[in-house]
Amino acid sequence: MVIVTKREATQEQVEAVVKRIEGVGLKAQVSTGEQHTVIGVIGDKTLLGDIPIDSMSGVERTMPITAPFKLASRQFREEPTVIAVNGTKIGGKQLAVMAGPCAVESAEQIVTIAQHVKKAGAQFIRGGAFKPRTGPYSFQGYGIDGLKMLMAAKEETGLGIVTEVMTPHEVELVGEYTDIFQLGTRNMTNFYLLREVGQAGKPVILKRGMASTIEEWLLAAEYILAEGNPDVILCERGIRTFETHTRNTLDLNAVPVIHELSHLPIVVDPSHGTGIRSLVSDMTKASVAAGADGLLLEVHHDPDHSMTGDGAQSLFPTQFETLMRELKPIAIAVGREI
């Protein structure tokens, strides 16, 4: 960490800062510039704990040199994390494909779609039983009944289950059914939920908050890792920007950035990342080419009768099948398989 003091900072203020730093066993290196005094902190900055350097008199700002996350970082673990679940390895050579409807709407619907996506090569069926909705009057999911329908689809097809959990006290319930917990963009900073899934003993897909920086996202992962759960899968699903033509701006830069900063696998959700069916296939190809470890895709055989507006971004089963075929050479070109 580098501490920049104010131009008008007094000698006493600089010394007070140095004293605080040295008081916890760190080394402080003071450089007196023409306008500002800069204090470099050398050593393990976690020793600083909650000392509010930013708030101290005479301090203008602090600038971090190293990342604030640890367990999630490449420095902590050099080789990529590979997560084995329901017979699939996520984060390895094989791309993980999770596909299905936005919401579980009936046993028939979810089984039908599961059969379609299984045939086309997906390893996981996704679908929401508990749905976070912007307004209170929208369909909020079938809850436990939805979970049972997902289980029926699993029994029918062998596909693993990916489904969302929205609140700490439902982690146990959802965990009885799902293979992978999904934490949605609106819950990336639901810290109690992060901690709870950190103790749940199953892999977690952590979607990026729609206004979260990559650093904040990795800090949210750190909450889960710090509870002892090493199986975190990040999911880029688009961020909020000024552009309104698409529902979100899919930030594919995040894929190689995460691979540089972290050992955790990252999957991409081009369905939410665009919000428009006709864009999904191209952006899925781009996701694979950028190095994604997997895909989260919405597929619906009858969007005209879906129960959420998200049908507008769902692929039809035939589109999904075609896409899976077209992805193959791209996957191979970047050293992957699908």
CB of 42 to its own copies, least distance (A): 5
Instruction: Work out whether 334 is an interface residue with its own copies (CB under 8 A).
Output: yes
Instruction: Find the shortest distance in angstroms from Cβ 86 to its own copies.
Output: 28
Kindly report the three-state secondary structure assignment for every residue of the chain: CEEEECCCCCHHHHHHHHHHHHHCCCEEEEEECCCCEEEEEECCHHHHCCCCHHHCCCEEEEECCCCCCCCCECCCCCCCCCEEECCEEECCCECEEEEECCECCCHHHHHHHHHHHHHHCCCEEECECCCCCCCCCCCCCCCHHHHHHHHHHHHHHCCEEEEECCCHHHHHHHHCCCCEEEECHHHCCCHHHHHHHHCCCCCEEEECCCCCCHHHHHHHHHHHHHCCCCCEEEEECCECCCCCCCCCECCCCHHHHHHHHECCCEEECHHHHHCCHHHHHHHHHHHHHHCCCEEEEEECCCHHHCCCHHHHHCECHHHHHHHHHHHHHHHHHCCCEC
Size of the site for its own copies (CB under 8 A): 111
Judged by CB under 8 A, does residue 24 bind its own copies?
no
Residue 168 engages its own copies in binding (rule: CB under 8 A): yes
Tell me the closest approach of the beta carbon of residue 11 to its own copies, in angstroms.
Answer: 16
User: Does residue 44 touch its own copies according to CB under 8 A?
Assistant: yes
Instruction: Please tell me whether residue 288 binds its own copies under the rule CB under 8 A.
Output: yes
Using CB under 8 A as the binding rule, whether residue 231 contacts its own copies is answered as no
Segment interacting with its own copies, rule: CB under 8 A, options 120-128, 154-162, 173-181, 207-215: 207-215
Q: Considering the complex, what minimum distance in angstroms separates the CB of residue 331 from its own copies?
A: 9
Name the minimum Å distance from CB 87 to its own copies.
28
- Figure out which of the listed residues 82, 285, 321, 322 binds its own copies, where binding follows CB under 8 A: 285
For residue 308, state whether it binds its own copies (rule: CB under 8 A).
yes
Among 100, 127, 146, 273, binds its own copies (CB under 8 A): 273
Positions in 86-105 near its own copies (CB under 8 A): none
Task: State yes or no: residue 163 binds its own copies (CB under 8 A).
Answer: no
Minimum distance from CB of 123 to its own copies (Å)? 22
